Chain A
C-alpha cells in the first residue's frame, strides 16, 4: 500500500511579502502570439506587459482559452514570441541557439498539472534526481554526496529516498509524484518556477500540503513562482500578485487583496461573483 504517513498538520498559505523593491526577474513588453495568418488569424496572447520580481509569487488567472498556457509556453521559451520582447533580469532574453536555450532553462523550470506524464517512464527515480544534480554542475561529485543531496531533497517534501530507490515513477501515487516534482525543483534551484495548475489533479486535503511545500521552497531558495490557474480562490490564498487574463489580454493586475477584494475590471468582478462561496450568498440571478 502506498502510504506516506506523518501527522495531520495545519498550514497557513498566507505568506505575503513585499517584493516591490526586489530586482526584476522576468518582464515582458507587448508580448504577443499569433497563430495562423490572414482570415484564420488567431491572436492567443495580445500585447501583454508584465513585471515579475525576484521572490514574487505571481498568479495568472483566466478561464479556459484565455491564453494562459500559450503565455507560459512563451515564458518557458518553448514557443517563439510573434511580437514584443521578454526580458530576463532586465536584459532582453536571448534563446536564439540551442546552447543559449539550455542555459536559459537552468534558470526557469516548470511543473505541470499531470504528474503521470511528466516523468520518463523508463527512468528510475534515482535517475530522475541524479539528472537534476548533473544538470546543475554536480556531475563530478562523489556518489555519497549525490545520495546525501537526493535524500535531503526527498526529506524536504516528506518522502523517504531509501524507499524510492530502484522504483519507477508509475509505482508512486499521484501525490507522491507531485512531491517528487517539487524535490526536483529543490535540487535544480531555478530562479523561476512556472507552475501550470500543479494541484488540479490533487485532492483537496492533499492540496494544502503540496502548496505549503511549494511556498516553503520559494522561501528557501528565493525563486520567483509563476502560478497559472483557473482557480481564483487558490490564487487569492497563495499569491503576492494576481494577473487576470481574458482573451489574451491582462485586464487587471495588482496585489492579491486588491484584485480579489476590490476588483475594478468588469471581467474580474464577474469571475469572482461566479465562483461559489461559503460565507456570502451565491447569486444565481446574475445569469441569463
Chain B
C-alpha cells in the first residue's frame, strides 16, 4: 500500500458568527489520501467545501475555529498547533493552498520573484536571495513557464498566466498536500485546460505529492482527480473513484449531482436530468437526523430522526451515508431509469 500523505480523523470546525452563533461547517470529516493521488471534493455552494479546505491547513483565524479531530500530514500531526507555528513550519512545505481567485491576490507593486522570496524566507529567514532566484528560474523552466515572468508585475500577466504563476509560487517548496480551491473557475476553457495540464505535470514529476481539488464543475473533477468525495451540509455523504462516482453514484444527493451534468457530447442531449428542489439546511440549527432527508425523494419517516454513520461498501475505498442499503438504492435507480 502506498504511503498515506494526508490523514484526517473526525475533523470538526465551526464558525462563530458575530451574533455568537455556532455554525458547524465541517462536521466529523475523515479522509485519507495516498502519495501520488488526488481527491476531488464536490457539492453545492455552502456545503462546506471551502471551509474544509481552510480547515485542512490547520491555520485557523476567526470566525473559523478548530473544535476536534486530527490532521496528520505525512506522519506529522498539525491539528491544534498555534497559527504562527503553522505558518512557519507547515504552510508551503507540508500543505499549500490555492484559494479561489488566487490570481487577484498578488500585490501589484511587487515583482513575481519577490513573492517567491517571501514564501521561502517565511520558512528560512536567512535564505540567500540569489539562490532563491536560481531555484525559481529552474522551477519555472521545468513547468514550461517563461522565466521572464519572474521579473514582471502581476498586472503585466494574463489571467491564465497569473493563475499558473500563483500555483508555481505556492508549490515552490514541493508541498506534500496541495489544496486547490476552484483554481480554474475564473478562467475561460482554454486557460483552464492549460492550468489543469500544469497541475497534472506537477503531480507526475513529484512537485506535489498529493492534491485536493475543489470545484463545483463535475466534468472537470472527473477528468482531474482519482477519487471524488461528495459533501452535503458539512458532512461527507459519499466517496469513491471518479468513474464509480460519476457513473454509479449511490447516495441520492450524489446521484442528483451527477445527473445534472451538462456536457456537449453526442447522445447526451435527451438524457433526463435530476432536479433536486429546496436548499441545504441552515447549519446553525442542523437537522437532528439525516441532513438530506428534507430534500430526499427516498427518505423514510425515520430519516428525520436518525443520523446515519458513514459506511463502507463493495469495492475498497467506497463509502456512503444513507439509511437505505446499497442494493435497495441501486434497484430503485434501475427501476427509475427503465421508466
Contact = CB atoms under 8 A, between A and B. Distances in A.
Interface stretch (A30-38, A42-50, A69-77, A202-210): A202-210
Interface string B260-280: 111111101111111111110
B294 interface: yes
Contact of B275 (A4, A206, A272, A286): A206
B245 to A, nearest CB: 11
Contact of B279 (A12, A175, A257, A286): A175
B219 A8 contact: no
B188 A64 contact: yes
Which of A1, A272, A276, A280 has the most B CB atoms < 10 Å from its CB? Answer: A276
Interface stretch (B3-11, B15-23, B193-201, B302-310): B193-201
Given A233-B264, A279-B268, A280-B265, A10 B274 contact: yes
Question: For the side of the interface on A, what is the size category?
Answer: 35 or more
A274 B44 contact: no
Given A8-B274, A287-B193, A278 B44 contact: no
B28 interface: no
Interface in A175-232: 175, 203-209, 212, 230-232
B192 A205 contact: no
B99 interface: no
Interface string A251-288: 00000110011000000001110111111101010110
B181 to A, nearest CB: 16
Interface in B244-271: 246, 252-253, 256-257, 259-266, 268-271
A275 B277 contact: no
A237 B296 CA distance: 26
A270 B264 CA distance: 13
Contacts of B295: 3, 5, 8
A150 to B, nearest CB: 21
A94 interface: no
Contacts of B256: 8, 205
B262 A206 contact: no
Interface in A84-131: none
A151 interface: no
Contact of B263 (A1, A63, A278): A278
A280 B268 CA distance: 12
A82 to B, nearest CB: 26
A271 B191 CA distance: 11
Nearest to A230: B188
Contact of A1 (B190, B220, B282): B282
A83 interface: no
B334 interface: no
Interface string B275-297: 11111011001000000001111
B260 A208 contact: yes
